[in-house]
């Protein structure tokens, strides 16, 4: 029996789905580590104001990039799989993304000139904006690889680029170059990556001469975009929600505040990698559970909810305890004051993992449009709170708390939806918020008595002991206890 199970496991690990998922997870983690090293180095090497200007230009680029592909990757996969003339649809999609990339490059540069008078920000935005064209073309090949189940190629090439960026940043320790030149080097690396995607990534399926002669009418592009508008909205909302804070900070506060915000956000983005990857892996499991019956989905949701909750508390208490030590160590003493803002921003991580889980459940239930409207409501709340708050109170805390409030409101809306669908009960929702508040507030009070660094270790050792005791007690007595 054990041998049979082992053979099944071997077969699963040889499947294309498993290999692509494993490569995706490994590549995602490795890229984030390398790009975080790059970010830490430039934050340490350059003056805070120069780094802040770089962050603003990068924010404009990232913000526009969230819209630039128009979310047409899913349309392309569907068409590519179902159509016989795959070559023509590939060439058309490549040419479409080139045109769309040029349009959004112009938009990116226009936004930088409209919002900022600083010449360095405008110059950096102009240079970074070129990346949008390159990114759109790479996007085509990434989705070609997804359609052909060859994501390994995309993962490999993007990891190589992240490694080269990291090497470039390491050189700055020995020879500091102006930030303008650094951005030009990064553009060159992106161009190199594009060439690798066109040759190796596409398996030489792209002939640039034939692409040039492929006709794509503007009316055809409009028809495709308007028929797939929901992908544009869903694909861009998450980017808008997170990056809008950077734009508000850059317009209402100082360049130093921009740098502080970006450092805090970088640490937060590292923390939510695990729940994001976990949520994407859990989604197929939820779909499978729903196919069995709604009760199976409810059981799976409740089983997963607890570890997601614990991870959020773990991440928050870790930053609360060690941010004062870690941030100056990683980014230098000039960022010593950033720890207080980082702790504020990390309030989000307390409910962010369960927020992702509940979003998966809602989409599993076939309520994508409802999820989209929830996103729109949360964006409106975020923008309104940031604008009104910063108008009267010029402090970075306003943006941090606005992010927490919009995620909290979104979480509450999800709770209402899941209660109406009878996935959870009102009592369990109330218990979640009450218990979470008590734990966080108790941890805060204890930190005034016990050193925070020691408190974190003791607190989570106690949690581990309690859960171990419950687990062995349950196993020993063969009881079906639902631990909440």
- Would residue 357 count as lying in a domain? yes
Same domain, 223 and 245: no
Q: What average pLDDT score do residues 189-210 get?
A: 84
Integer distance in angstroms from the first to the last C-alpha of the chain?
35
Q: Flag whether pLDDT at 182 surpasses 90.
A: yes
Nearest to 77 by CA among 19, 133, 150, 12: 150
Confidence of residue 465 (pLDDT cuts 50, 70, 90): confident
pLDDT at 24: 57
- Mean pLDDT check: name the lowest of 109-123, 265-279, 289-303, 464-478: 464-478
Q: Flag whether pLDDT at 37 surpasses 50.
A: yes
pLDDT at 136: 92
Q: How far is CA 466 from CA 161, 204, 428, 473, in A?
A: 45, 57, 21, 11
- Given 205, 227, 249, the domain boundary residue is 227
Rounded CA separation 311/455 (Å): 17
Q: What is the pLDDT of residues 262-288, one digit of tens each?
A: 888 888 888 887 787 777 667 767 877
Q: Flag whether pLDDT at 238 surpasses 70.
A: no
pLDDT at 108: 92
> Mean pLDDT of all residues in the chain?
82
Same domain, 187 and 100: yes
- Given 184, 211, 227, the domain boundary residue is 227
pLDDT at 86: 80
Same domain, 168 and 272: no
Nearest to 51 by CA among 64, 60, 41: 41
- Given 202, 227, 252, the domain boundary residue is 227
Q: Which is higher by pLDDT, 461 or 30?
A: 461
With tokens 């206890």, the residue in question is 481
Same domain, 79 and 169: yes
- Would residue 470 count as lying in a domain? no
Contact 386, 244 (CB under 8 A): yes
Same domain, 43 and 187: yes
Buried b or exposed e, range 25-58, using 16+ CB within 10 angstroms: bebbeebeebbbbbbbbbbbbbebebbbbbbbbb
Q: Which is higher by pLDDT, 227 or 286?
A: 286
- Would residue 472 count as lying in a domain? no
- Would residue 483 count as lying in a domain? no
- Mean pLDDT check: name the lowest of 15-24, 242-251, 471-480: 15-24
Q: What average pLDDT score do residues 165-188 get?
A: 91
- Would residue 460 count as lying in a domain? no
Confidence of residue 167 (pLDDT cuts 50, 70, 90): very high
- Residues, the chain, total? 484
For 217-337, where are the alpha helices, taking DSSP H only? 218-227, 229-252, 255-271, 273-292, 294-331
Same domain, 250 and 305: yes
Same domain, 30 and 144: yes
Same domain, 199 and 327: no
Q: Flag whether pLDDT at 408 surpasses 50.
A: yes
Same domain, 124 and 25: yes
Q: How many domains does the chain have?
A: 2
Category of 355 on φ-ψ map: left (φ > 0), alpha (ψ -120 to 50) or beta? alpha
- Would residue 14 count as lying in a domain? no
The domain of 158 spans: 20-227
3-state secondary structure of 450: coil
Same domain, 365 and 317: yes
Q: What average pLDDT score do residues 190-212 get?
A: 83
Same domain, 212 and 246: no
- Would residue 174 count as lying in a domain? yes
Tokens describing residue 65: 């990039």
Q: Which residues contact 26 (CB under 8 A, 6 or more apart)?
A: 155
Same domain, 254 and 278: yes
pLDDT at 234: 60
Rounded CA separation 270/274 (Å): 8
């Amino acid at each position: 029996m054990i041998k049979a199970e082992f053979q099944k496991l071997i077969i699963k690990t040889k499947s294309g789905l498993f290999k692509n998922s494993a490569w995706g997870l490994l590549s995602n983690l490795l890229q984030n580590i390398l790009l975080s090293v790059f970010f830490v180095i430039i934050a340490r090497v350059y003056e805070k104001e120069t780094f802040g200007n770089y962050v603003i230009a990068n924010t404009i680029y990232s913000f526009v990039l969230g819209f630039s592909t128009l979310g047409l990757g899913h349309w392309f996969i569907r068409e590519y799989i179902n159509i016989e003339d795959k070559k023509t649809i590939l060439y058309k999609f490549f040419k479409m993304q080139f045109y769309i990339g040029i349009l959004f490059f112009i938009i990116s540069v226009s936004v930088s000139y409209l919002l900022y008078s600083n010449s360095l920000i405008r110059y950096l935005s102009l240079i970074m904006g070129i990346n949008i064209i390159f990114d759109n073309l790479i996007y085509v090949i990434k989705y070609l690889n997804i359609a052909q189940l060859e994501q390994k190629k995309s993962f490999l090439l993007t990891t190589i680029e992240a490694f080269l960026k990291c090497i470039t940043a390491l050189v700055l320790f020995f020879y500091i170059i102006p930030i303008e030149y650094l951005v030009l080097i990064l553009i060159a690396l992106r161009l190199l990556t594009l060439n690798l995607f066109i040759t190796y990534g596409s398996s030489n399926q792209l002939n640039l001469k034939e692409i040039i002669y492929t006709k794509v009418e503007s009316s055809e592009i409009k028809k495709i975009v308007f028929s797939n508008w929901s992908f544009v909205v869903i694909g861009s909302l998450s980017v808008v929600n997170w990056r809008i804070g950077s734009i508000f900070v850059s317009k209402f506060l100082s360049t130093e505040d921009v740098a502080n915000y970006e450092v805090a956000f970088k640490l937060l983005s590292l923390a939510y990698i695990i729940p994001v990857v976990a949520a994407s892996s859990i989604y197929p499991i939820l779909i499978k559970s729903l196919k069995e019956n709604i009760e199976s989905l409810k059981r799976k949701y409740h089983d997963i909810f607890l570890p997601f909750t614990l991870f959020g508390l773990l991440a928050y208490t870790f930053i609360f305890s060690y941010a004062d030590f870690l941030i100056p160590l990683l980014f230098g003493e000039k960022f010593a004051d950033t720890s207080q803002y980082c702790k504020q921003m990390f309030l989000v991580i307390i409910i962010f993992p369960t927020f992702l889980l509940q979003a998966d459940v809602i989409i599993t239930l076939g309520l994508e449009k409802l999820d989209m409207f929830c996103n729109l409501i949360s964006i409106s709340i975020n923008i309104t709170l940031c604008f009104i708050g910063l108008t009267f109170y010029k402090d970075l805390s306003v943006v941090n708390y606005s992010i927490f409030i919009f995620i909290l409101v979104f979480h509450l809306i999800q709770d209402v939806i899941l209660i109406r669908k009878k996935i959870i009960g009102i009592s369990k929702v109330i218990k979640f918020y009450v218990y979470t508040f008590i734990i966080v507030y108790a941890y805060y009070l204890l930190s005034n008595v016990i050193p925070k660094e020691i408190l974190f270790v003791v607190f989570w050792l106690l949690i581990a002991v309690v859960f171990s005791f419950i687990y062995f007690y349950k196993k020993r007595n063969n009881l079906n206890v639902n631990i909440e």
